Structure 1
Amino acid sequence: MSETGGADPAPPTLHGPRADPRLVAAIVASALFMQNLDSSAVTTALPAMARDLAVEPARLGAAITSYLVALTVFIPVSGWVADRFGAKRVFMAAIAVFTLASLLCGRATGLPELIGARILQGIGGAMMVPVARLLLLRQVRKEEMLSAMAWLTMPAMIGPISGPPLGGFLTDAFGWRSVFLINLPIGLLGLVLVAWKIPRVEPTNPGPPDVVGLFLLGTALALFMFGLETIGRGVVPPGLPQAGLVLGLMFGWAALRHCRRVARPALDLALLRIPTFHQSVLAGSLFRIGAGTSPFLVPMLLQVGFGKSASEAGLVSFATALGALAMKPLARPVLRRWGFRRVLIGGALLAAAGVAAAAAFTPAWPLPLIFALLAIGGLFRSLQFTALNTLAFADVPPGRLSAATSFSGTVQQLAPALGVVLATTVLEASALLAGRHGLAVPDFAAAFLVAAAVVAASAPFFARLAPEAGEAVSGHGVAPAKRVPAE
């Protein structure tokens, strides 16, 4: 039975033998790494793109904004599409669309052509991310979910960190078009591996889509993301970003009202009645907003505040990715030992301390010490992301996984954008209060402290979880319950 009292939809069936969940996780993670790497590497190539296309660098911000808006708008429909046409088929189509769009981006000769190709890329990415998670969840048992999610979390951690230095290297060595063309071999390899190793998931009949809800939700997300990505950048006329934010909130309110009233909504709000999903998505968003400031603030601090080169800043920032890699084999034993509730509370506080520590960075600090502290911070953030991504689906019935992946994917896409807005707002406010026209090290310190407070604010919400939350997935507390007392 569902949380609303009705029967849950029947889950799609697998066609063929069940694949090794670690292999499935590695294959889908490689496709997600391509998507995450591309979205972060492009920012490094923007100056070279502007020179080659003969446009102002500020105008090229539209190439990033258009991608993010398309990505966010099409995520809500991904679950319905996966159920209707089959998750494996949709995932392969998403990889193909993303790869083709990358080719078109690499061959663009003008800004309109580039923006059109980036929108197509966003559509492919929107189907790729949540459907990849859905495809994995269809293959794994609860006791395997934690290990699989640890693999799936890697692209989200490593892609944004490794993207800027790799983008800079490719741009300097082969030109900005190589940033997009590098996706071609990765995409083709991904298609072959998915077709070869991942069993087919039979499509189902999910019923007609909630067209009104998708329109309201898509419009709300498009306007809101447009406002977030353009505010304060001078790329559009004054007032338009603020209008986008206000209209986005209005359409979002209308979308939520609509989704509460229909039987099969575009956004299944009844999922929030599942405590583990509720805390993972909503309290997890608070954590992601605060943690999402670091990939933006650290490279800027090293370049603007310390005068380091872009390559130096990229290499130091990569410490976070190394910390994330170090956590992958540790996540399962840590969660088995302490359980989701205690790990999420402690992880939020430790991650907050790591973000706050960056406020003490000065040009006098040796780079190896900064590198070490960033690596430790990346370790705790990786543990938190793995726990959140796993707990979100621990108690979701199989028939509602499609709706859950769409819901969580939509929310997760907004959080990093809100983190960047938070960081830029604090930076500008700090400089304004100090009477400075440019940014200085104290402004970054203020931004890190505010971000740390936001991360720490998620801990009380995680404390509302039951001590046994997600124990079927983590294994925490399960073994003692199975023991039979001796006579």
Structure 2
Amino acid sequence: MNATPSHQALQPEFRLLVLLVSIGFFMQGLDTTIVNTAIPAMARNLQEDPLQLHSVVVAYVLSVAACIPLSGWLADRFGVRNTYFSAIIIFTLASLGCGLASSLNELLFYRVIQGIGGALLLPVGRLAMLKVIPRTQFLSAMSLMSLAGLIGPLIGPTLGGWLVEHVSWHWIFLINIPMGILGCIITFKAMPNVTEPSVPKFDLWGFILLVIAMAGLSLGIEQFASPHNRLSLSIGLIFLGILAALIYAYHAHTHQNALFRSTLFQNRIYAIGIIGNFFARLGGNAMPFLLPLMLQVAFNLEPFATGLLMIPAVLGSLASKPIIRQLIQHFGYRNVLLVNTLLVGACIASFSLSSPLTPTWLLTVHFFIFGILNSLQFVSMNTLTLKDLPQQDASSGNSFLSMIMMVSMSIGVALAGTLVNIFGAYFGNANILSAFHITLICLGCINLVTAVIFWQIPKNAAV
């Protein structure tokens, strides 16, 4: 059957561009997950407590979130090729720095720089495809690119575990270097430097407020249980973050050139979707960090075995894709999100029933079910959030959603690490498994708040 005019096969002249963007998407997806199984080994090598090393994940995710608002403006101002090339260079050199780091502070510094590069890779790459590839071939291009995004998280935990066991944790970062070099070579061949003739002045004051808000909340929660810092520092950071967020809300309402105008939230569905995304992802996005840590620290599993156990969650995510649309069309967004939010919370809390004696096959099924429910949650929330946005708000609304997703992941990981440390101090190292169990129950209960938010979705909300 011939391709219809609305959905044509990708022409050969665009395949190299799709390959280039896929490399960036793969690098970012891989780096978000590969670290999780390596944390205990990194802690031993750096002579740190593995329960305090959630900062390695938070530093990367937080810097990605902070720099997402920059991506579109930089691409319009300096061109998509120049921005994308710079992003690959930054990400690759920072990966080299991470691989050569000999202390935690040095590693955290390079993780922040790596996150800055990672923040630009996917948005700018997707923007380049949008500007260069004809609309009739865009769906085919996005479908091919999305495969790279699936492969990264699929192999990340297992590859990280294998590298830790057979080489060293440094190689989870050093493997980015050959891919980065390949990306640099292809960039000038495949990506034209498309710019915009007229670019508005960048909202620097708004950007600073957003960075302070995100950093204050994430770092304040992350430092809450740190033995090296006073409690007043954490409370001060959280207060600073809340204050900056409130000032930005006023700024967004009064400043014509604000990064994200307050008019976005006049759309009720969008507002519900954003708030629901934030709370729902606190638990769901903390699990890829928390579960590998529990399996190694409390269950005493090897890194490679831990990585293998994470694969069923990704496979569950893939298995859910064909049924999501049918479920939403049959039951509607409100019913799907209400029920699934509670199921995700129950599934997260039910991991507290697992122990080192739990059969591997049962853990595998548990991870697979979690992958299905979590994927259904994320796709449904994202689709609901963006579906009613008018065309003039689509770009800004999508960027804000992307930023909220990363901020929620940062705060979720920080919260999970803090709770484990608080309960670990209460139960003692001899009963560290109980600390993980109580943390999982707390994270699951957050979804009760999320269900209340999704209860606000109108019953007649269109599918």
TM-score by length of 1: 0.77
Task: Show CA shifts across 1:419-459 (max 9, x none).
Answer: 234434544555666x5455444443333232222224323
Partner of residue 175, structure 1: 168
Q: 1:364/1:281 Cα in 2 relative to 1: closer, same or farther (>3 Å)?
A: same
| Partner of residue 198 from structure 2, selected from 200, 205, 215 | 205
* Structure 1 residues 470-485: aligned runs within 5 Å: 471=463
Partner of residue 312, structure 1: 305
| Partner of residue 445 from structure 2, selected from 433, 438, 453 | 453
C-alpha distance in 2, partners of 1:387/1:230? 33
Residue segments in structure 2 that go unaligned for 5+ positions in a row: 1-7
C-alpha distance in 2, partners of 1:198/1:148? 16
| Partner of residue 419 from structure 1, selected from 407, 412, 420 | 412
Partner of residue 3, structure 2: none
- Residue 269 of structure 1 deviates from its aligned partner by 2.6
* Structure 1 residues 55-70: aligned runs within 5 Å: 66-70=59-63
* Structure 1 residues 32-47: aligned runs within 5 Å: 32-42=25-35, 44-45=37-38
Say if 1:170 and 1:179, in contact at 8 Å, map to a contact too: yes
Task: Give the share of equivalent positions with the same residue, in percent.
Answer: 31
Partner of residue 243, structure 2: 250
Partner of residue 330, structure 1: 323
Partner of residue 263, structure 2: 270
| Partner of residue 259 from structure 1, selected from 245, 248, 252 | 252
- Residue 97 of structure 1 deviates from its aligned partner by 2.4
**Partner-residue secondary structure (3-state), 1:396:** coil
Say if 2:424 and 2:435, in contact at 8 Å, map to a contact too: yes
Whether 1:228 and 2:228 are equivalent positions in the alignment is no
- Residue 347 of structure 1 deviates from its aligned partner by 2.4
Of stretches 378-387 and 70-79 in structure 1, the one that deviates more from structure 2 is 70-79
Whether 1:184 and 2:182 are equivalent positions in the alignment is no
C-alpha distance in 1, partners of 2:358/2:42? 34
Equivalent residue letter for 1:126: A
- Residue 125 of structure 1 deviates from its aligned partner by 1.4
Task: Show CA shifts across 1:78-122 (max 9, x none).
Answer: 233234345565344323321232234335567676555333212
Say if 1:354 and 1:374, in contact at 8 Å, map to a contact too: no
Equivalent residue letter for 1:450: C
- Residue 166 of structure 1 deviates from its aligned partner by 1.9
Task: Show CA shifts across 1:230-271 (max 9, x none).
Answer: 332345566433332222222222222222211121332321
Equivalent residue letter for 1:407: F
Partner of residue 374, structure 1: 367
- Residue 167 of structure 1 deviates from its aligned partner by 2.0
C-alpha distance in 2, partners of 1:106/1:233? 25
| Partner of residue 396 from structure 2, selected from 379, 391, 403 | 403
- Residue 374 of structure 1 deviates from its aligned partner by 1.2
CA RMSD of aligned residues (A): 4.0
- Residue 215 of structure 1 deviates from its aligned partner by 1.9
| Partner of residue 286 from structure 1, selected from 279, 301, 324 | 279
- Residue 128 of structure 1 deviates from its aligned partner by 2.5
Say if 1:33 and 1:159, in contact at 8 Å, map to a contact too: yes
Partner of residue 207, structure 2: 214
Q: 1:148/1:168 Cα in 2 relative to 1: closer, same or farther (>3 Å)?
A: same
- Residue 379 of structure 1 deviates from its aligned partner by 0.9
Say if 2:218 and 2:411, in contact at 8 Å, map to a contact too: no
Q: 1:421/1:50 Cα in 2 relative to 1: closer, same or farther (>3 Å)?
A: closer
Partner of residue 321, structure 1: 314
| Partner of residue 156 from structure 2, selected from 153, 158, 163 | 163
Say if 1:149 and 1:389, in contact at 8 Å, map to a contact too: no
Task: Show CA shifts across 1:109-156 (max 9, x none).
Answer: 6767655533321211122344456567777979x989959975984x
C-alpha distance in 2, partners of 1:368/1:301? 17
Of stretches 22-31 and 126-135 in structure 1, the one that deviates more from structure 2 is 22-31
Equivalent residue letter for 2:304: S
Q: 1:153/1:416 Cα in 2 relative to 1: closer, same or farther (>3 Å)?
A: farther
- Residue 201 of structure 1 deviates from its aligned partner by 5.6
**Partner-residue secondary structure (3-state), 1:362:** coil
C-alpha distance in 2, partners of 1:360/1:236? 33
**Partner-residue secondary structure (3-state), 1:401:** helix
Equivalent residue letter for 2:116: I
Of stretches 255-264 and 292-301 in structure 1, the one that deviates more from structure 2 is 292-301
Partner of residue 464, structure 1: 456
Task: Show CA shifts across 1:452-480 (max 9, x none).
Answer: 22224323432433456463xxxxxxxxx
C-alpha distance in 2, partners of 1:319/1:439? 28
Whether 1:358 and 2:358 are equivalent positions in the alignment is no
Q: 1:402/1:83 Cα in 2 relative to 1: closer, same or farther (>3 Å)?
A: farther
Residue segments in structure 1 that go unaligned for 5+ positions in a row: 1-16, 472-487
- Residue 38 of structure 1 deviates from its aligned partner by 1.8
Equivalent residue letter for 2:443: A
**Partner-residue secondary structure (3-state), 2:386:** coil
Whether 1:299 and 2:292 are equivalent positions in the alignment is yes
Say if 1:355 and 1:377, in contact at 8 Å, map to a contact too: yes
**Partner-residue secondary structure (3-state), 1:465:** coil
* Structure 1 residues 107-186: aligned runs within 5 Å: 107=100, 114-132=107-125, 152=146, 155=149, 162-186=155-179
Say if 1:292 and 1:419, in contact at 8 Å, map to a contact too: yes
Equivalent residue letter for 1:452: G
C-alpha distance in 2, partners of 1:459/1:140? 40
C-alpha distance in 2, partners of 1:140/1:348? 38
Say if 2:40 and 2:293, in contact at 8 Å, map to a contact too: no
- Residue 375 of structure 1 deviates from its aligned partner by 0.4
Say if 2:313 and 2:368, in contact at 8 Å, map to a contact too: yes
Q: Which has the higher helix share?
A: 2
Whether 1:101 and 2:101 are equivalent positions in the alignment is no
Q: 1:154/1:442 Cα in 2 relative to 1: closer, same or farther (>3 Å)?
A: farther
